[in-house]
Structure 1
């Protein structure tokens, strides 16, 4: 079976009036982006672009004062404190953050991170017992612990105190703990609601440093916060945005020897870093260790005091990252071959692929790649011993992974997740029945995807608008991520002047619109997908740095054939619109009746037709102008 061609269902953005944001030093297209993201006044947008001071954390986290008091006591007594983290980038940076903060503040902290392969996720009874036997009486969990009932019950029975900092779901019956620092305990609308594990560790470290009047002890904490927050894909709004804006300006000059070494290996130079630099260059090198090796390596790297040892540890992380890439590519090739060999006609609505030798640490990455390639919810299963398989699941927008797994709970030994991703363990004999059940769950979702993969640009640009001035203004909206994604622009009626298929399945294009040419790249492009000579393109804007030079490039997300007509769908009614310099805008309904309008210099519509005074017709004409590229 050939690779599935890519089809997109374009949904252009809502018509907006950007005038409430007049006075902002931003191009019209970027003001439209902000309006479409819910900013209704200039002052509201200015507060987002340049955040004001945050409220005191003690007013928002009910248990923060008691957690701080207990750690202050530990610091003054040089008490041993175990930092129990997770093995992903959020957990490892959180662990390193508290190690680097509590040590200079006077405590005797030590890391306690479970092995992904041997112990699984989070705090467990064996860890608690081992730490107790070793003399530890105070534990702080980071990025885990809130649902570790057995471990917390054991700690309570041993009179060990546990401070839990976690952002995962709080169970209905809260286990025993000395204090809980969790975003869900903050008031509605709190700027701290989106904090990941590393953000909560930062809140705790900052409170203890303030209480002991030693702010210098947490100088590196903000740097580690930036890495963990972006790596965990936390929403970049509220406190996350505010602290990132401050932290990114100084991250390239971090005092953390491990971060210095990672930046040198990634070739990031001496310039200020972006969230994309973290997400695509630094975080993968950290995450690869948690996936394939022992997370203590990353903790050692991020707490190293010597540049030479930090570089040696960073190189080991780099080796794991190369190994991770090779494993992902090999498993992806094998998985694609399985899909193409086993699917003779149509793809199943839910892709489920299993091989006992696949590596647990990377099957989630490959599941995400296959989900993108085939636009289907996807599960990859690897052997887990005792006749069981362990899976990672990824789902497209609109398909709820957690709900689908819940509906199959009778077939699963363990499961968990959220709407976009999840995991489960299943006995081998239940895999066939599970696949049938998951396909039933995906059938309804797939029917809504008949028109193709959804793409919704934020604003229209002409290619000559893509310049360094726009890039400068675009950076004032950064950092971008979950909750505030990088703007997706679209350009209408561009011509493909040159096409090159690159190694790795990527596509390079040279696009022309009028007198303007821009280079574009499409990552992991389906080679069977047709690229029309005249097309509309949806893209984000990035910088291509190569051999000391840098230039702007379009990162293509979707392409469609260009047509002079625009279709407006109103359910039972459809309208077509076109534009010519001579006739202006022509709107035609299903009965063939037409309405014509001109666009004045102020971009306002004028028409001699009485229908043009009807608000519904005006809305149709405005949507037509948007679709024809006459509005941003």
Structure 2
């Protein structure tokens, strides 16, 4: 847990409170962020008043633009070479857009991670040059600063190479015709921390300036904003200005691809925030680069063909669903390793590995584990017969790439910067690397968890939309401009549940000392909670606030940041290990099941038609042990017959039963089409109307349908839209239904995209639960 820094009162210069206005917390927060005079505050709060730096202050930019313009005028082809993360995707799209607007002949390439990894592959570049002899220039973006072999190849073939990058400068520069990198600027310069897309924007701006239309590049500010947030760039200086300007464009998007992406993500463009970019849009685009081929993203962001765009966007949604599932699996498995071998946390660097971990997501998990444990983390994917591949994430104070330099004799390849790196090595060297890297970090660097600066104490009951809107004037938030953090004392947990499309977040209910209840969101915490614990007893809460939109009305959204025990230590709840017996794939499971349910304390979790079939086959009284999730109760042994529809449902069942043993059979229920599911749901609703006065338990209805609760809720809302029923009252787990004004069955109606996605995700999770190693299923403890 981070140390909390108390909000000491700042000495505010005259004139600043009058300029800023609003709640005193705003001016105090400005002072803590280094904005201490009226001129700085004006430009900070209003991008129209910010004085941007001259892009030509970036060394090499003017010469690079002149060289690119000569190639355009000669009618030769420019090969734009990007990178597969969002910064690289947006930088590639931005340069391709700018060059096309100048009538350039342009082709582009974003490396495919699984085949090429980062950088400019010499062999792939050779293929491009062999295939297209008109290529006169290779123009890189977000990559290339260490591309020595590729630069030598280009020079040997008489092809110019212009490198635009923002990564750390190597000891020797590659033999390129021009290099543009803001790292050549002195620290503190307002352009020194531009990400790759920021450098690309400055080059495009200078190209348009040479063409006599300096305003033309402003149409790409939306791309710059996406890349700045996704790359976790410092939200200071010109980065902040570009992000503020780009957010204006994104809130009224002109790119059809971005409109469709926001539609599928459930984002209202007019209220888009940097937080939604970071948590909703950027992960989708990153998923493509991590797990597939990111080149179609350029088409998504430049095309006007709606059919093509929707096809790409749907593919991105599928990649993102897979990325979320894989990330959750790896996170749970990593936490399990730590729980089983707690001595791993005694080392200065946490190093974990597994043969089944996909290399495309281990970097995401490493970042979350750094947040969880406050130390550098190395996650290694060790597939049999291949070199091991690792992602590394560090903490302030530990230059992890410098540490890897000292271990280079054990590595096949490596690269990165102070806070993040990647490497590959032969598996037999992993133990030696663990010892050497830990020894080097222990001897060479001192670090501790970054402290948490509080901006003030404010009881949750004092929050209101006007105050929160006042605080949001300090946004966009991010590195270098942290979100305003407030604190409230003497709270306790009154409940929590996993929420989100993939049940990846926690919704936490807290109660203050006056008995008032409040709901908070704890982002990306549902997996962490299996390896960490919510505070028990009284605690102090650190939280952030944002303006939310609830059915067209502004409301306050409270976000969990941290907690600490109030005076009088919090009591932590211990977890009980579970014994696991796996009969998945058993050729003749019924006799085994019959033997199990003959024993006391055994319950069988079966849902939908499978519950009734099993009850019929086992007969009474043994059939009483066959139950859907709403019928389960505390017991010693849980048999999972029907494959769970999702991780959240599985977690709730384990918490409800508290089993000492779990036995897996895992049979898939028959899969429905969307229309078939709605038809069955309409039948369940009709039963409730006729026999239960319309009162339904959503989890019990989900159990009867063998579905996720979210699918049932969306399905009921669709049936209401069709006029087949009316939702009179809706609470967290219950609803009251009334008859609708239409008759018939839900056939032929348009199906909501989110509803279809939930059904697809349920099917994907069930397949994972049937086929995956049992260690990845989250069944280790409760």
User: What band does the TM-score fall into relative to the shorter chain?
Assistant: 0.7 to 0.9
In structure 2, what is the equivalent of residue 512 of structure 1? 512
Give, in angstroms, the shift of residue 406 of structure 1.
3.0
1:55 and 2:62 are equivalent in the alignment = no
Residues 1:327 and 1:201: Cα distance change in structure 2 (over 3 Å) = same
Choose 473-482 or 183-192, whichever is displaced more.
183-192
In structure 1, what is the equivalent of residue 40 of structure 2? 44
Q: Secondary structure at the match of 2:22?
A: coil
Give me the whole-angstrom Cα distance separating, in 2, the residues matched to 1:95 and 1:497.
47
In structure 1, what is the equivalent of residue 30 of structure 2? 34
Give me the whole-angstrom Cα distance separating, in 2, the residues matched to 1:163 and 1:345.
45
Give me the whole-angstrom Cα distance separating, in 2, the residues matched to 1:386 and 1:562.
52
Residues 1:45 and 1:513: Cα distance change in structure 2 (over 3 Å) = farther
Give, in angstroms, the shift of residue 296 of structure 1.
0.7
Residues 1:148 and 1:545: Cα distance change in structure 2 (over 3 Å) = same
Give me the whole-angstrom Cα distance separating, in 1, the residues matched to 2:433 and 2:170.
27
Calculate the aligned-residue CA RMSD, in Å: 2.8
Choose 339-348 or 167-176, whichever is displaced more.
339-348
Give me the whole-angstrom Cα distance separating, in 2, the residues matched to 1:553 and 1:485.
17
Residue pair 1:511, 1:520 contacting (<8 A) in 2 also:
no
Give me the whole-angstrom Cα distance separating, in 2, the residues matched to 1:530 and 1:291.
32
In structure 2, what is the equivalent of residue 12 of structure 1? 6
Q: How does 1:204-219 map to 2 (within 5 A)?
A: 204-214=203-213, 217-218=216-217
Residue pair 1:510, 1:519 contacting (<8 A) in 2 also:
yes
In structure 2, what is the equivalent of residue 623 of structure 1? none
Give, in angstroms, the shift of residue 338 of structure 1.
2.7
Residue pair 2:59, 2:182 contacting (<8 A) in 1 also:
no
Q: CA deviation digits over 1:551-603, x for unaligned, max 9? A: 313212222233399xxxxxxxxxxxxxxxxxxxxxxxxxxxxxxxxxxxxxx
User: TM-score, with normalisation over the residues of structure 1?
Assistant: 0.81
Q: Between Structure 1 and Structure 2, how many residues are aligned?
A: 555
Residues 1:448 and 1:161: Cα distance change in structure 2 (over 3 Å) = closer
Give me the whole-angstrom Cα distance separating, in 2, the residues matched to 1:150 and 1:384.
28
Residues 1:347 and 1:36: Cα distance change in structure 2 (over 3 Å) = same
Give me the whole-angstrom Cα distance separating, in 1, the residues matched to 2:446 and 2:295.
46
1:22 and 2:17 are equivalent in the alignment = yes
In structure 2, what is the equivalent of residue 538 of structure 1? 542
Residues 1:175 and 1:354: Cα distance change in structure 2 (over 3 Å) = same
Give, in angstroms, the shift of residue 188 of structure 1.
5.5
Q: How does 1:339-354 map to 2 (within 5 A)?
A: 339-343=338-342, 348-354=347-353
Residue pair 2:42, 2:50 contacting (<8 A) in 1 also:
no
In structure 2, what is the equivalent of residue 223 of structure 1? 222
In structure 2, what is the equivalent of residue 556 of structure 1? 560
Q: CA deviation digits over 1:437-494, x for unaligned, max 9? A: 3333455799975xx8843323332334422122222221111111112122222x34
Residue pair 1:91, 1:143 contacting (<8 A) in 2 also:
yes
Residues 1:532 and 1:334: Cα distance change in structure 2 (over 3 Å) = closer
Give, in angstroms, the shift of residue 176 of structure 1.
1.9
Q: How does 1:12-411 map to 2 (within 5 A)?
A: 12-20=6-14, 21-23=16-18, 24-50=20-46, 51-58=49-56, 60-133=57-130, 134-135=132-133, 136-186=135-185, 189-214=188-213, 217-218=216-217, 220-343=219-342, 348-383=347-382, 388-411=387-410
Give, in angstroms, the shift of residue 348 of structure 1.
4.3
Give me the whole-angstrom Cα distance separating, in 1, the residues matched to 2:106 and 2:204.
13
Give, in angstroms, the shift of residue 361 of structure 1.
1.0
Q: Secondary structure at the match of 1:235?
A: coil
Give me the whole-angstrom Cα distance separating, in 2, the residues matched to 1:447 and 1:101.
45
Give, in angstroms, the shift of residue 191 of structure 1.
1.9
Give, in angstroms, the shift of residue 319 of structure 1.
0.8
Say which structure, 1 or 2, has more relative contact order (CA 8 Å, 6+ apart).
Answer: 1
Give me the whole-angstrom Cα distance separating, in 2, the residues matched to 1:204 and 1:182.
11
User: TM-score, with normalisation over the residues of structure 2?
Assistant: 0.66
Give me the whole-angstrom Cα distance separating, in 1, the residues matched to 2:397 and 2:383.
30
Residues 1:347 and 1:174: Cα distance change in structure 2 (over 3 Å) = closer
Give me the whole-angstrom Cα distance separating, in 1, the residues matched to 2:55 and 2:446.
46
Give me the whole-angstrom Cα distance separating, in 1, the residues matched to 2:277 and 2:384.
36
For structure 2, which runs of at least 5 residues remain unmatched after alignment? 570-782
Give me the whole-angstrom Cα distance separating, in 1, the residues matched to 2:212 and 2:306.
29
Give, in angstroms, the shift of residue 432 of structure 1.
1.0
Residue pair 2:139, 2:161 contacting (<8 A) in 1 also:
yes
Choose 470-479 or 48-57, whichever is displaced more.
48-57
Q: Secondary structure at the match of 2:190?
A: coil
Give me the whole-angstrom Cα distance separating, in 2, the residues matched to 1:418 and 1:105.
35
For structure 1, which runs of at least 5 residues remain unmatched after alignment? 1-6, 566-632
Q: Secondary structure at the match of 1:358?
A: coil
Residue pair 2:2, 2:450 contacting (<8 A) in 1 also:
yes
Give, in angstroms, the shift of residue 185 of structure 1.
3.1
Greater helix content = 2
Give me the whole-angstrom Cα distance separating, in 1, the residues matched to 2:303 and 2:37.
47
Q: How does 1:429-468 map to 2 (within 5 A)?
A: 429-441=428-440, 454-468=451-465
Q: Secondary structure at the match of 2:189?
A: coil
Give, in angstroms, the shift of residue 308 of structure 1.
2.4
In structure 2, what is the equivalent of residue 479 of structure 1? 476
Give me the whole-angstrom Cα distance separating, in 2, the residues matched to 1:9 and 1:208.
48
Q: CA deviation digits over 1:180-227, x for unaligned, max 9? A: 221123456432112111111111111111221345754531111111
Residue pair 1:490, 1:536 contacting (<8 A) in 2 also:
yes
Residue pair 2:12, 2:31 contacting (<8 A) in 1 also:
yes
Residue pair 1:463, 1:513 contacting (<8 A) in 2 also:
no
Residue pair 1:360, 1:390 contacting (<8 A) in 2 also:
yes
Q: CA deviation digits over 1:368-404, x for unaligned, max 9? A: 2233334442211113776521100122444442343
Give me the whole-angstrom Cα distance separating, in 1, the residues matched to 2:511 and 2:541.
10
Residue pair 1:249, 1:272 contacting (<8 A) in 2 also:
no
Q: CA deviation digits over 1:133-187, x for unaligned, max 9? A: 2111111100011110111111112111111110012223222222222112345
Residue pair 1:543, 1:552 contacting (<8 A) in 2 also:
yes
1:526 and 2:529 are equivalent in the alignment = yes
Q: CA deviation digits over 1:335-383, x for unaligned, max 9? A: 2233333447965443222223321111111122233334442211113
Residue pair 2:338, 2:344 contacting (<8 A) in 1 also:
no
Give me the whole-angstrom Cα distance separating, in 2, the residues matched to 1:156 and 1:219.
33
Residues 1:94 and 1:489: Cα distance change in structure 2 (over 3 Å) = same
Residue pair 1:85, 1:141 contacting (<8 A) in 2 also:
yes
Give me the whole-angstrom Cα distance separating, in 2, the residues matched to 1:388 and 1:423.
13
Give me the whole-angstrom Cα distance separating, in 2, the residues matched to 1:211 and 1:377.
46
Give me the whole-angstrom Cα distance separating, in 1, the residues matched to 2:152 and 2:65.
22
